[in-house]
Structure 1
Amino acid sequence: MLKPLFMVVLGLLAGCAVFSDDPRVRTPGAMIDDQVIETMVKRQIWNSDPAFNSSHLIAVSYNGVLLLTGQVETADLKRKAEDIAASFDKVRKVHNELQVGGPISMVARANDSWLTTKVKTKMLADAEVAARKIKVVTENGTVYLMGMLPRPEADAAVEAARSVYGVQKIVKVFEYI
């Protein structure tokens, strides 16, 4: 009884080693950390100042690199959001792409969702793009591409996104490996 249990535990530990040895691979632990970062950063920002109530704020994390997008009413709120995000231990870098102004309309948000779908579909159809390693975020026609990729794969992803009708701008938030 003890020997089979030992073999199962040993097999599981060997499988965990596969997740942690390659620095080019985003581990399950990093994925969980990213979800926690997104939730906690948004909560902390919202709770820090009632002025954020009129903001449209998106926080997306990929391997500890945090992207802030959306709209805030003032430049001070933009700086405050970045400072709060940067204060988290697991956040390695903050890309603050918040725009100063009122929130975009629901129609614009629906269009952004449609653009994200079209960009992801285009990437999935392109054999040169590692689509499963790329997170696509669209805000007000601007497409943000996040992931850990070699430059040629990142360039292919940008070209795929560029070819989608309706994309106004592409911002690369890649970590090059």
Structure 2
Amino acid sequence: MKTPSAQRMLIAFTAIAALAASLPGCVPLVVGGAVAGAGMVATDRRSSGAQLDDQAIELRAAARVSQIANDNMNVTVVSYNRQVLLVGTVGSEADKQRVGNEIQRLENVRAVVNEVTVGPGSSLADRSNDTYLTGKVKASLLDAKDIFANSFKVVTERSVVYIMGIATRREADRASDVARGVSGVAKVVRVLDLVTDADLANAQRSGGVSAPITPAPVQDAGPGATSSSSRVPLPPMAPLPQGNVAPAPASNGVVTSPVR
């Protein structure tokens, strides 16, 4: 007999699958992830509820952007811990603002980091290079023995590497150093929820964080770094389900770090 929790998870997965099946076949949007499986739920620092919400946000975003898209709109949407990163290109500043506003209105979205640029779309060579750089950065994070590579999600757009995840300040700085060390990376942008070592230790012992985490301020990841102008104030939201690590709802840290 299924427990209420198992039934809830099954219903959520079924709903996401149904939503994915209903999307149009041709959408000028790239969705940032795949439906979370049992292994992902078990190893990810996000709560299982946050993982399911991230998948639903990406699918709803695909449907919404397909409704407002034009020939010059090519947007990638990635949601991590209910914080949404937008990258890609649009034809005008008005289109950039419209996409950001539409995604911000989606259910469970707590912040939008709008890094979309106004200009021509990426070439095939650009996209191939971005895929290559993403693979190189991921491999380099795996090779680094002093951090957990699975704590980070890596997205690359025109040689700019975006690092998303839930991490300590040391892990964030180390991951930034690793990414900047990859040849061809033009810039590193961190979109992270920062937690403390104590938070992670408590989560491992108890299976969840019992109190909201106060995020540490995100600092420049390298000399000459400048703060991103894409910060978006967080909207009011209901308490999130407890999981491996609670999100950091109080602030939205985004730092742009030039390669040394």
TM-score by length of 2: 0.58
- In structure 2, the residue matched to 1:30 is 50
From the CA coordinates, give the structure whose radius of gyration is larger. 1
Q: Over aligned residues, Cα RMSD in angstroms? A: 1.8
- The offset of 1:29, in angstroms, is 2.1
CA distance in 1, matches of 2:93, 2:150: 35
1:174 to 192, 198, 213: 192
CA distance in 2, matches of 1:125, 1:63: 25
Q: Residue deviations 1:8-60, cap 9 Å, x none? A: 95xx8xxxxxxxxxxx9302221121111112112202202x42x32221000
CA distance in 2, matches of 1:54, 1:67: 19
AA partner of residue 28 (structure 1): S
Does the CA contact (< 8 Å) of 1:55 and 1:102 recur in 2? no
TM-score by length of 1: 0.83
- In structure 1, the residue matched to 2:115 is 97
1:158 to 176, 194, 216: 176
Q: Post-superposition, which runs of at least 4 consecutive aligned residues in structure 1 deviate over 3 A? A: none
- In structure 2, the residue matched to 1:41 is 61
2:140 paired with 1:122: yes
CA distance in 2, matches of 1:38, 1:102: 24
AA partner of residue 127 (structure 1): K
> How many equivalent pairs are there?
157
Larger helix share, 1 or 2:
1
CA distance in 2, matches of 1:131, 1:120: 7
AA partner of residue 175 (structure 2): A
Give the gaps of 5 or more residues in structure 2.
7-43, 196-260
CA distance in 1, matches of 2:62, 2:93: 18
Does the CA contact (< 8 Å) of 1:34 and 1:62 recur in 2? yes
**How do residues 76-95 of structure 1 correspond to structure 2 at under 5 angstroms?**
76-95=94-113
CA distance in 2, matches of 1:143, 1:36: 24
